[in-house]
């Protein structure tokens, strides 16, 4: 019963919150669809943390999505041990980059008083959930190896059943609690989407990965 609530009902609640909350926020306060950058307050740690975090998490997410979207092709891809080992190493490397970047961004908000002042409660909650999710992901990658293979036989059928509106939790409820927590963490983040700065991921154009430095010119007279 408990697993049914978590893996059959909660995903739909999370999606409903994300969609409805996102629409309400967009039409009610569309100018808040921003990453609310604190680059003016501190830039060095932000740059290295942001680059590591964004590139790492984007590659990892794309791999997750690819395995869901074309699970049959993905299964054929990882059927070869050499390709499986290569994908595992690449995934761990980018996961580690994401973890290092997110840790740097979190410490920046803790240790830099100027940045701490502009950090809202929702930011702390989001950072905590993101850190937990990345740590769990690394735990799964290192403790339950070859996830690139068993993922298509466990998580993929479950997510596909959710899309068909016929949730089947049989393939995921037998997994270790660490894996289940990581799966549910994705939907927790989805539910938090409209209430945090996560909304910036749907803004257009998406240029934050390659945009140049911002040039700031203070238009005021120097004090004597």
CATH of the domain at 67: 1.20.950.20
**Confidence tier at 2 by pLDDT (50, 70, 90):** confident
Q: Are 98 and 134 in contact (CB under 8 A)?
A: yes
What is the Cα–Cα distance from 142 to 207, expressed in whole angstroms? 33
**pLDDT tens for each residue of 23-74:** 888 888 767 766 677 777 777 788 889 899 999 999 999 999 999 999 999 9
**pLDDT tens for each residue of 32-44:** 766 677 777 777 7
The length of the chain in residues reads 224
Is 218 a domain residue? Answer: no
pLDDT, position 73 = 94
Over residues 155-181, the mean pLDDT reads: 94
Over residues 141-158, the mean pLDDT reads: 93
Spatial CA neighbour of 205 closest among 13, 33, 36, 17 = 33
Q: Are 194 and 24 in contact (CB under 8 A)?
A: yes
Is 222 a domain residue? Answer: no
Is 219 a domain residue? Answer: no
Handedness of CA 47, 98, 55, 205 (dihedral sign): negative
Is 92 a domain residue? Answer: yes
Q: 95: buried, middle or exposed (CB in 10 Å: 19+, 13-18, 0-12)?
A: buried
Q: Are 129 and 192 in contact (CB under 8 A)?
A: yes
Examine the pLDDT at 150 and tell me if it is beyond 70.
yes
Is 211 a domain residue? Answer: no
pLDDT, position 143 = 94
Location of structure tokens 């036989």: 153
Q: Are 102 and 48 in contact (CB under 8 A)?
A: no
Examine the pLDDT at 187 and tell me if it is beyond 90.
yes
Over residues 107-115, the mean pLDDT reads: 89
Is 176 a domain residue? Answer: yes
Q: What does pTM read for this prediction? A: 0.84
pLDDT, position 55 = 94
Average pLDDT score, the chain: 88
Is 207 a domain residue? Answer: no
What tokens does 219 get?
Answer: 């238009």
**Confidence tier at 82 by pLDDT (50, 70, 90):** very high
pLDDT, position 89 = 95
**Count of the separate structural domains present in the chain:** 1
Segments forming the whole domain that contains residue 15: 2-202
In three-state secondary structure terms, 223 is coil
What is the Cα–Cα distance from 201 to 218, expressed in whole angstroms? 29
Is 224 a domain residue? Answer: no
Over residues 145-171, the mean pLDDT reads: 94
- Could you count the other beta carbons within 10 Å of the beta carbon of residue 186? 16
């Amino acid at each position: 019963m408990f697993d049914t609530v978590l893996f059959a009902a909660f995903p739909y609640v999370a999606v409903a919150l994300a969609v409805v909350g996102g629409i309400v926020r967009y039409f009610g306060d569309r100018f808040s669809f921003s990453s609310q950058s604190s680059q003016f307050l501190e830039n060095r740690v932000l740059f290295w943390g942001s680059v590591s975090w964004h590139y790492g998490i984007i590659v990892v997410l794309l791999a997750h999505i690819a395995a869901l979207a074309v699970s049959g092709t993905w299964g054929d891809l990882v059927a070869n041990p050499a390709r499986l080992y290569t994908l595992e190493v690449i995934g761990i490397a980018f996961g580690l980059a994401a973890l290092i970047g997110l840790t740097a961004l979190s410490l920046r908000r803790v240790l830099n008083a100027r940045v701490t002042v502009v950090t809202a409660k929702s930011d702390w909650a989001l950072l905590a959930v993101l850190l937990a999710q990345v740590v769990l992901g690394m735990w799964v990658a290192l403790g339950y190896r070859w996830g690139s293979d068993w993922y298509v036989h466990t998580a993929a059928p479950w997510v596909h059943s959710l899309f068909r509106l016929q949730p089947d939790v049989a393939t995921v409820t037998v997994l270790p609690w660490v894996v289940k927590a990581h799966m549910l963490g994705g939907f927790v983040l989805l539910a938090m989407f409209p209430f945090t700065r996560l909304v910036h991921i749907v803004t257009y154009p998406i240029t934050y990965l390659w945009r140049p430095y911002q040039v700031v010119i203070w238009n005021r007279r120097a004090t004597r």
